[in-house]
A and B are shown apart, each in its own frame.
Chain A
Amino acid sequence: MTALRGLGLRLGAPWLLLGLIAVLVLPWYKLPPPDLGAGVLPPGSALTQMLAGRWWLLPPVLVMLALAGLRLAGGLRWQTHPAVPWLAGGGAILFLLQAFGIGLRGPGFEWVATLFPAAAPGQPGLGLGGFAFGIAITGILADCLAVRGFCRGERFAANAVVFVVVLLALFVFFPILRLGAAALFTPEGVFQPGVFVTRFTAPDLWGLNCLVGQGKCGVVINTLVLGVLSGGFSTALGLALALIVARTGFRFKSTLRAISILPIITPPFVVGVAIIVLFGRTGLVTGWLDVLFDVPRTRWVYGLPGILLAQVLAFAPVTFLVLLGTVEAINPTLEEASKTLGARPLATFRTVTWPLLRPGIAAAFLLAFIESLADFGNPIVLGGGYDVLSIRIFFAVVGARYDLGNAAVLAIILLTLTLGAFWLQTRWLGKKSYVTVTGKSDSGLAAPLPRPLKGLVYAVVIPWIVFTLGVYAIVLIGGFVTDVARMDLAPTFRHLNTAFAFEIGQFGLQLYGSAWDSLKTTLVVAAIAAPLTTILGILTAYLVSRQNFVGKGVFEFGTMLSFAIPGTVVGVSYVVAFNVPPVDITGTMAILVICFMFRNMPVGMRAGIAALSQIDRSMEEASQTLGANGFATLRTVVLPLIRPAIFTSMVYAFVTAMTAVSAVIFLVSARHNMATAYIMGRVENGEYPLAIAYSAVLMIIMVASILVINVLVGRRELGRRAQLQGAPTVVPAE
């Protein structure tokens, strides 16, 4: 380790070493999977590929050799040489040009073909060497900026900024741009911008027949109707819950808080399945109603009512958390002032409390609205004939009506809607908040709810609790009885056995169950993604709150963007962007991990920013003046002080990697299947008990994992810093 570090130092930068290895040793192109036989090209480094006639690889090789020469001539601070930025920048640009200019089927432009005859058969995606070169040249550019005073000359910070920017560009912006481009191509692959208008104005998108006449509405209208209803009901319920917890003597407050965590660790589909089991045509409740009251059995639950029910169940806890914060932030002295001025309790609520709550209510509504728009799991189980955008996008990519261009247009519409709502939430509401943090402790007692309101709130919340308990009872027992839907409650391990049968025999541990593969992949992906996501999120938080650099505003916008893009859109855009060279990674486990990293990173980022804002900056400056570079400071001073944020981020990243479905459903492959995709297959086949059993197993694993992460990360409390543990939990659009 020390020897390696010494070598890196003597060479001036590890990046240069990596770059040399990348162009001279490592195979430049992606190696075809072993079962597919020989690829387009034989493996070889950039140097050998170039000597074989692929002259467009000359710049990367030449640049690395030239930089190595400068290093030998220039000494330790060789990056200060005026030629270095030009060489590195030029090398990076030529590298990108060749990568995007020459595709799998040959050159993208005529002049490239004339310039490089050898390009005619095309080139495969980048392999180890290509990616290593990209990393190396990025690092060299970052070092170059650092020695010129970027990020106060902090090499680690400069590298971190540049790498995060490049990663965001590659895995957030690039796929979205590719998606936009895909909308302009016909299914046959012909470039035709007019086709965008045709697709965009298709009558099955915008039709209003369900409102004005007979028939169905367009899919966009359906999505919006669902979003508004779901947002409205979720907010009302969340507000009722928040008022009960903050303003009444309700005895089961801690139970309420516990229930509010449940949706976060609930795998998708399972709520939908439980609702079908309860309210479907042959459902339990339906059955009782039929027997007891002669209510005819119908399929009412399939469609808008069913989706709405499932979504409200899932989103109310989210709105509850947002609104609880708002209710608790109201300074009680304001209400006391109102009372001393002669207002009765109801009048006080109407004239003081309610106006103060309004911004929070709007924020909660928009949050639920965005989540509803992006929701994929519930509509696909309960949708029936009720089509929404996320479902339509899915079937345009994986269904019989395969049309990537159409999927792209639908995804752009969905993206515009969510970004619009997101924009409203951050810009407009950001300025409307009346909550003032003064640092003074608020004296006074919060006013209890006025009596009529209290009755109303209980009337809303108690059925919800009963309903939630019912749904989760189904989830708990459904997997372990013969057939919960037909009230056959004989205990059995049959379903569990189908999924997770194993035997310890003469060949050691043998796993027979059909679900083992997906479970293993899920665990591996989640275990890899959780730390990487946390690193990315916390690092970004550190950069945003501690570093000043050119273009920081754009940087922050980029990180938030990845937060607001619905999973379905991410999935489609990754399919469009990453199943062709130069970054050809579909079907690998890497794309699953990367997808989770960029989707879940904002939670770690927000927790990190909140934690960092509580830590005196001069602590880090002290560390720097004592000789610690940016990385050492982060490791020895910052990270130990923000452990709770790391914990939050790890848990969130791990749990979402196990429960996410909307984006991964596009990215799973036969070799790398995920648990949620497997469960979805079972649900589609009507094997509800199996799906429920698997979900129950997942939930147990998640709870166990949270405990393990707790032990690993530790929660050392430092007196006043205990408050950091209340870092905000924010759930991104699924």
Chain B
Amino acid sequence: MSETAIEFVDVVKRYGMVTAVDRISFSIQRGEMVTFLGPSGCGKTTSLRLIAGLELPSEGSVRIAGQDVSTRAASERNVGMVFQSYALFPHMSVIENVAYGPTIRGDDKKAAAERGQEILAMLGLDGLGKRLPSELSGGQQQRVAVARAIVQQPDVLLFDEPLSNVDAKLRRRVREEIRDLQRKFNLTAVYVTHDQEEALAVSDRIVVMNQGRIAQIGTPDQLYNRPNSRFVADFIGDANLISGRLENGRFVAEGLTLPFADPGQEGAATISVRPERIGLDPAGHGGTVQSATYLGSRYEYMVSAGYGSLLVSAPITSTPIAPGAQVGIVIPEDGFTLVESS
């Protein structure tokens, strides 16, 4: 499992004066599913296209399966890609679409068609081979796009926001399907999305990007619970950012004192607290509920304290609290992360 499938070394991509990807380095292991996550314009799609060969780096090198492919065109690499719009060829039948890769690479037409049929069967699309893509449902189209991308056993399978055209209700199911498929074929997969929930759900590791740089790389758990920056904390999930100071092994803000394990650090600092880690208990320090929202699966309160407003998520089983009520706020010792310090 430790074999490196993809490696970026100091990759830079510029378009004229604009730097889309600003000196990033990372590596992806074989059989791993990695997500590029970030706001629009952060360089995640460009990074994906750099792997595909649809863009070539301005500087640095891209390695796939140990080979430097920095100046290789897409057609000279072995990658499969599932596009946002699926990009099925409208003038070809489903089987022609799926067998397109093997055919164009010089395989015998018949063998290519057979291979295509196999993959279609594996994805539960048997019997649809003769149809035109326009005659399929959205979900079927997407599976055809996946079939077309994996038919040649690519070194890496790339997904460019594959769920953006899928009905909100169906998304959960489709992303499970993608994850199962990736596990089943032991594919190395790279997945681009701007939806943090989707990223947390499907990935082995997540690369969070911002303004062309990598903000943090880690497992979903690491990113959620141990964000290393304000940006990551804020972008993934909801975060309460509290500004204060580190002094004598404690984090201190107005009306708040928390023990902090690393006594070496001093000075201004910001911590991040997840809404669901905050307890509402009379034993805590004082705050006032400003607004309460019923969300069906939980309650959400805006609570003001001396150091600012906090978003608090409370289980649906708890007693509802009316706006204006005085509450106690409890932040557990392991419930916060330092995201900024001077």
A632 CB within 8 Å of chain B: yes
A152 touches B53 (CB 8 A): yes
How near does chain A come to B19, taking the closest CB pair, in angstroms? 16
B91 touches A626 (CB 8 A): no
Alpha-carbon separation in the docked complex, A637 to B100 (Å): 10
B91 touches A625 (CB 8 A): no
Interface secondary structure of A, over-half rule: helix
From B70, B77, B81, B101, give the contact of A621 (CB < 8 A).
B81
Most buried by A among B55, B101, B149, B158: B101
CB-CB < 8 A to B55: which residues of A? 152
Of chain B, the residue at the smallest CB distance from A635 is B104
B91 touches A629 (CB 8 A): no
B72 touches A153 (CB 8 A): yes
Interface secondary structure of B, over-half rule: loop
- 23 example contacts (A-B, Cβ-Cβ < 8 A) are as follows A80-B71, A147-B71, A149-B56, A153-B53, A618-B87, A619-B87, A621-B54, A621-B81, A621-B83, A623-B100, A625-B54, A625-B74, A625-B77, A625-B149, A626-B80, A626-B104, A627-B75, A628-B75, A629-B76, A630-B73, A630-B75, A636-B89, A636-B104
CB-CB < 8 A to A606: which residues of B? none
Interface residues of B in 57-95 (CB under 8 A from A): 70-81, 83-85, 87-91
Alpha-carbon separation in the docked complex, A624 to B54 (Å): 8
Knowing A153-B72, A154-B73, say if A625 contacts B56 (CB, 8 Å): no
Alpha-carbon separation in the docked complex, A419 to B78 (Å): 49
Knowing A147-B71, A152-B54, A153-B72, say if A618 contacts B83 (CB, 8 Å): yes
Interface residues of A in 255-302 (CB under 8 A from B): none
B85 touches A626 (CB 8 A): no
B152 CB within 8 Å of chain A: yes
CB-CB < 8 A to B105: which residues of A? 627
Of chain A, the residue at the smallest CB distance from B56 is A149
Alpha-carbon separation in the docked complex, A147 to B90 (Å): 32
B79 touches A625 (CB 8 A): yes
Alpha-carbon separation in the docked complex, A166 to B84 (Å): 37
Alpha-carbon separation in the docked complex, A623 to B80 (Å): 10
Knowing A152-B53, A154-B73, A641-B91, say if A626 contacts B134 (CB, 8 Å): no
A626 touches B148 (CB 8 A): yes
CB-CB < 8 A to B158: which residues of A? 625
From B54, B70, B134, B152, give the contact of A627 (CB < 8 A).
B152
Given contacts A148-B71, A626-B100, A628-B104, 15 further A-B contacts (CB under 8 A): A152-B53, A152-B55, A152-B74, A155-B73, A618-B83, A618-B160, A622-B83, A623-B100, A623-B104, A624-B74, A625-B54, A625-B80, A636-B89, A716-B91, A719-B134
- What band does the interface of chain B fall in when counting residues whose beta carbon is under 8 Å from A? 35 or more
Alpha-carbon separation in the docked complex, A657 to B72 (Å): 42
A616 CB within 8 Å of chain B: yes
From B54, B71, B75, B89, give the contact of A637 (CB < 8 A).
B89
CB-CB < 8 A to B80: which residues of A? 625-626
Knowing A621-B81, A624-B75, say if A153 contacts B87 (CB, 8 Å): no
How near does chain A come to B130, taking the closest CB pair, in angstroms? 17
B33 CB within 8 Å of chain A: no
Alpha-carbon separation in the docked complex, A721 to B71 (Å): 35
B73 touches A153 (CB 8 A): yes
A190 CB within 8 Å of chain B: no
Interface residues of A in 58-81 (CB under 8 A from B): 80
Of chain B, the residue at the smallest CB distance from A157 is B73
How near does chain B come to A702, taking the closest CB pair, in angstroms? 30
B52 CB within 8 Å of chain A: yes
Q: Which residues of B contact A (CB under 8 A)?
A: 52-56, 70-81, 83-85, 87-91, 100-101, 104-105, 134, 148-149, 152, 158, 160
CB-CB < 8 A to B85: which residues of A? 616, 618
CB-CB < 8 A to A622: which residues of B? 81, 83, 87-89, 148
B73 touches A718 (CB 8 A): no
- What band does the interface of chain A fall in when counting residues whose beta carbon is under 8 Å from B? 20 to 34
How near does chain A come to B146, taking the closest CB pair, in angstroms? 12
CB-CB < 8 A to B90: which residues of A? 641, 718-719, 721
Most buried by A among B74, B76, B90: B74
A624 touches B91 (CB 8 A): no
A681 CB within 8 Å of chain B: no
A444 CB within 8 Å of chain B: no
Alpha-carbon separation in the docked complex, A80 to B70 (Å): 13
How near does chain A come to B137, taking the closest CB pair, in angstroms? 16
A305 CB within 8 Å of chain B: no
A640 CB within 8 Å of chain B: yes
Alpha-carbon separation in the docked complex, A632 to B158 (Å): 22
CB-CB < 8 A to B84: which residues of A? 618
A619 touches B73 (CB 8 A): no
CB-CB < 8 A to A621: which residues of B? 52, 54, 74, 81, 83, 87
Alpha-carbon separation in the docked complex, A632 to B89 (Å): 14
How near does chain A come to B120, taking the closest CB pair, in angstroms? 16
Knowing A153-B72, A716-B91, A718-B90, say if A626 contacts B152 (CB, 8 Å): yes
CB-CB < 8 A to B70: which residues of A? 149
How near does chain A come to B10, taking the closest CB pair, in angstroms? 16
Of chain A, the residue at the smallest CB distance from B51 is A625
How near does chain B come to A443, taking the closest CB pair, in angstroms? 27
Of chain B, the residue at the smallest CB distance from A548 is B15
